[in-house]
Amino acid sequence: MNYKKFMLQAINDADKYKYTAKPNPVVGAILLKEESIISSGCHEQYGCNHAEINAIENAKKNIGKIFKDFSELTLICSLEPCSHVGKTGSCAHKIVESGIKNVIIGSIDPNPKVSGKGIKILKDNDVSVTIGILDELVEQQNKSFFFKHRNKRPYITVKIASSKDGKSHYPNISQTDITSKESKKDVQIVRANHDAILTGGNTLRSDNPRMNARVHFSLNQPKKILLTNKSFDLTYNFFKDNNVDIHKTKNLDKIIKSYYRDEITSILVEAGPKLVNSFLKANLVDELIVYRSNIELGSDGVDWFEDNNAIEKYDFKLESSCRIDNDIKETYKK
Ligand code: AOF
Ligand code: ZN
């Protein structure tokens, strides 16, 4: 049978939960009897049932009606069923217990706690397993989850607001407003797409940002990370939410790698030129988003990048650009 169209449906279903499943990957599952769909399920909420469990539970009400027992059914799941007993049970064991005999998997799970082990549990229990149906799409959909496990650190995006002439702000002025309201709204979505937002003490003191995602849909708010070796008081807006980590060390590599153990797959850096340039020099930037206004700050403005604003030396290539009000949003990747 051609399972691709069902896998595509499972992938699409899963996508609806990207803001509530995070930092977990989104996963979709479908139970089929021959060519007809008996039930479907997704990993809807971090800490709650995995997709396969929801699909199995949703099918149970049709037992004895549309099908007699689970051995008649084929399970399509976009990610390898988990082997571990995490916040919920092990999906691979639940599948075996249910009596399902045929499982079609999109991608192997890159998480070393699971990778290959879920498949082994199924095969050891005489379940037939097919792997690699639309696996590239599954990886694309869970880009930062795969990146984190492959690179042993979260995916890092730097977001900056720049004047037309590549400047950040005027020195000694607390905040220089550069981009439009619409761009600022767009930033809220970018924030919502990340597991953590990181800033430095200078930005905290000069802008007093809240740095949460102010959007009109439910989501798991990003964790907040502050890097500073100066003292600060807790009245800043940044501390209005509970989920804040503070690091006093300047060793960026160590800080970022420490989040591999935490459940953080992506970090958005929103900071001033000094910290942004430190991330670039440490080779810790995977994506750069520039909101570029048509205002020029002139020679009094502070350059975003060192060495005469030469971002090119870091090998970024423009991947996409679009207009937002009077600004241009540019996305660069390596
Ligand atoms: C599945 N089905 O729907 C998902 C899986 O903390 P836990 O217990 O929720 O486990 C999270 C890990 O489980 C996650 O890092 C990934 O390896 C896997 N996700 N596995 O069988 C699912 N979301
Ligand atoms: Zn699972």
Q: How confident is the model at residue 174 (pLDDT cuts 50, 70, 90)?
A: low
Q: What share of the chain is helix, strand, coil (3-state, %, to 5)?
A: 35, 25, 40
Cα distance between residue 54 and residue 32, in whole Å: 14
Does 82 contact ligand 1 (Cβ within 6 A)? Answer: yes
Closest CA to 127 of 107, 105, 112: 105
Average pLDDT over residues 86-107: 94
What local confidence, expressed as pLDDT, does residue 330 receive?
Answer: 96
Ligand 1 atom with minimal separation from the 27 CA: 3
In the chain, what percentage of residues exceed pLDDT 70?
100
Average pLDDT over residues 167-192: 90
Tell me the CA–centroid distance for residue 143 and ligand 2, in Å. 19
Cα distance between residue 273 and residue 291, in whole Å: 14
Q: Are 120 and 25 in contact (CB under 8 A)?
A: no
Q: How confident is the model at residue 20 (pLDDT cuts 50, 70, 90)?
A: very high
Burial (CB < 10 A; 0-12, 13-18, 19+), residue 51, is buried
What is each CA distance from 220 to 37, 138, 187, 203, 207, in whole angstroms? 31, 21, 16, 24, 24
Residue of 22, 24, 52 with the most ligand 1 atoms within 8 Å of its CB, for mutation: 24
The tokens describing 54, both together, are: 């929801």
**Residue 38: CB atoms within 10 Å:** 21
Average pLDDT over residues 167-191: 89
Q: How confident is the model at residue 47 (pLDDT cuts 50, 70, 90)?
A: very high
What local confidence, expressed as pLDDT, does residue 231 receive?
Answer: 82
Q: Say whether 35 is catalytic.
A: no
Checking if the pLDDT of 232 tops 90, the result is no
What is each CA distance from 75 to 52, 72, 98, 116, in whole angstroms? 8, 10, 11, 17
- Coil/strand/helix, residue 60: helix
Shortest-distance Cα residue to atom 20 of ligand 1? 82
Average pLDDT over residues 221-241: 91
Mean pLDDT, all residues of the chain: 94
Checking if the pLDDT of 233 tops 90, the result is no
Tell me the CA–centroid distance for residue 109 and ligand 1, in Å. 9
The position carrying tokens 């499943």 is 21
pLDDT tens digit sequence for 258-310: 999 888 999 999 999 999 999 999 999 999 999 999 999 988 899 998 877 77
Tell me the CA–centroid distance for residue 253 and ligand 1, in Å. 27
DSSP characters over 83-106: -S-SSS--HHHHHHHHT--EEEEE
Shortest-distance Cα residue to atom 18 of ligand 1? 82
Q: How confident is the model at residue 89 (pLDDT cuts 50, 70, 90)?
A: confident
What local confidence, expressed as pLDDT, does residue 250 receive?
Answer: 82
The position carrying tokens 């599952």 is 29
Closest CA to 42 of 64, 12, 70: 12
